Amino acid sequence: MTLATLQEIERSSVIPSYARFPVEFVRGEGTRLWDEQGNEYLDFLCGISVTNLGHCHPRVVEAVRAQVGVLMHTSNLFYTEPAMRLAERLAASSLGGKVFFCNSGAEANEAAIKLARKAKPGGDVVVVHGAFHGRTYGALSATPQESKQAPFAPLVPGFKAIAPTAEALASAIDERTALVLLEPIQGETGVHVLSEELLLCAREACDAHGAALVFDEVQCGMGRTGTLWAYEQTGVLPDAITAAKALGGGLPIGALITAPRLADVFAPGDHGSTFAGGPVIAAAALAALDETGEEALLEGVRASGTFLRGALAELPHVISVRGAGLMLACELDVPAPEVTRRALLAERLIVNATGPTTLRLLPPLNVSEQEIQEGLIRLGRALAG
């Protein structure tokens, strides 16, 4: 089908909740995508940090192929090996507690909110401005952005949004607080790294008042910042993390991963999801985790990130660069949406604008030096206009 036909179908049959670019992709491999006319694109966005290992990573594809013809779905009324192995691996790779599976980042945060409220009945949830935790009602209530929340009021009660500072957190967390939910690096609002001081203060206040500290690692986890989990670089141990996006190597899965303290809060019947932890997705996630956990890959993320960050700062119209590893944003002195559009349509480079002057880059973790050089040339031309 041509792009024009797809656009016609969209107009007549698709609820218009997305503003799509006029590009139809038909194939992906590694850092590259191809449109229906055979044009090749460099993907420095990874489907918003999902295809972290590149498109159709052979190890993930092989795991899915091997599982999909054997057993696709049973529900969580029964055992399957991939889900149990994945839970064991995820807990061992992080906080050492237990895992609840779901299908997306928003659902992982819903699970965290429910878990924290069950652990401390009736308790409040504290979040910070600039956060994005998802679009379902609980996750949306934890996402203090007027444009996203206002049309859907009333939201879930008991959520408190404060400034992302240590002082504000210290005074907001009290004996009524059940949960403090934080992205160590805020992704959707433009790659803002929360300070170590803020995270330490959150940890201390949560300990003092018996609240759960949960890090939303949906975007910054799974190797994106140069360690498997972003919290590893902070010196703060959360009580749980939420993961999704890259967890399934390109397929949909989410997870709440706890430390031992919160591991047995849910009892049978408290929470669930029909598709959660299905064998095909779990097999894909195991393969993705094997690959992402390789120290050489993570070392590569740190090295590529340092190089890319330095080179971005030299490009025209780039005022500053922030982020960690391969989760980077450039502040521009020209409109970022226009640069994004030019990069995509004229240079065939995929990046995105998270704000009027903010450009976000999330290239694959295994991006090569040559691909980075190529991306920089294309972005430089898009910036120059």
Residue among 132, 159, 215, 266 flagged as catalytic: 132
Q: Which residues pair with 358 in a beta bridge?
A: 331, 355
**At its nearest, how many Å lie between ligand PLP and the CB of residue 77?**
25
Instruction: Give yes or no for a contact between 242 and 256, defined as CB atoms under 8 angstroms apart.
Output: yes
CA 265 to chain centre: 25
Residue 43 falls in the annotated catalytic set: no
Residue 219 or 348 having the CB closest to ligand PLP: 219
188 contributes a contact to ligand PLP by CB under 6 A: yes
The 240-259 contact track toward ligand PLP, x by CB under 6 A, reads ----x---------------
Residue among 43, 124, 216, 239 flagged as catalytic: 216
The 190-229 contact track toward ligand PLP, x by CB under 6 A, reads --------------------------x-xx----------
Instruction: Give yes or no for a contact between 1 and 21, defined as CB atoms under 8 angstroms apart.
Output: no
Q: In the range 283-312, which residues lie near ligand PLP by CB under 6 A? A: none
Residue from 30, 54, 97, 105 in contact with ligand PLP (CB under 6 A):
105
347 contributes a contact to ligand PLP by CB under 6 A: no
Residue from 100, 101, 132, 229 in contact with ligand PLP (CB under 6 A):
132
**At its nearest, how many Å lie between ligand PLP and the CB of residue 224?**
11
Q: What are phi and psi of 298, to 5 degrees?
A: -65, -35
Residue among 98, 114, 120, 245 flagged as catalytic: 245
276 contributes a contact to ligand PLP by CB under 6 A: no
Residue 245 falls in the annotated catalytic set: yes
Stretch that binds ligand PLP, among 75-83, 182-190, 258-266, 375-383 (CB under 6 A): 182-190
Q: How far is CA 177 from CA 41, 111, 212, 217, 280, in A?
A: 47, 17, 8, 21, 38
Residue burial 241-271, b: 16+ Cβ < 10 Å; e: rest: bbbbbbbbbbbbbbbbbbbeebbebbeeeeb
Residue 105 or 249 having the CB closest to ligand PLP: 105
371 contributes a contact to ligand PLP by CB under 6 A: no
Residue burial 155-175, b: 16+ Cβ < 10 Å; e: rest: bbebbebbebbbebbeebbee
Instruction: Give yes or no for a contact between 292 and 53, defined as CB atoms under 8 angstroms apart.
Output: yes
**Residue the block writes with tokens 């919290």:** 231
Instruction: Give yes or no for a contact between 327 and 225, defined as CB atoms under 8 angstroms apart.
Output: yes
**At its nearest, how many Å lie between ligand PLP and the CB of residue 158?**
19
Residue from 133, 224, 317, 378 in contact with ligand PLP (CB under 6 A):
133
| Interior angle at CA 244, CA 239 and CA 250, nearest 5 | 155
Residue 207 falls in the annotated catalytic set: no
134 contributes a contact to ligand PLP by CB under 6 A: yes
Please name the helix (run of DSSP H) or strand (run of DSSP E) that holds residue 371, with its range, or none: helix 369-384
The 140-179 contact track toward ligand PLP, x by CB under 6 A, reads ----------------------------------------
Question: Rounded distance, CA 163 to CA 361, Å?
Answer: 25
Question: Rounded distance, CA 138 to CA 247, Å?
Answer: 22
**At its nearest, how many Å lie between ligand PLP and the CB of residue 334?**
25
In three-state secondary structure terms, 28 is strand
Residues forming contacts to ligand PLP in the complex (CB under 6 A) are: 48, 104-106, 109, 132-134, 183, 187-188, 216, 218-219, 244
Q: Which residues are tagged catalytic?
A: 132, 216, 245
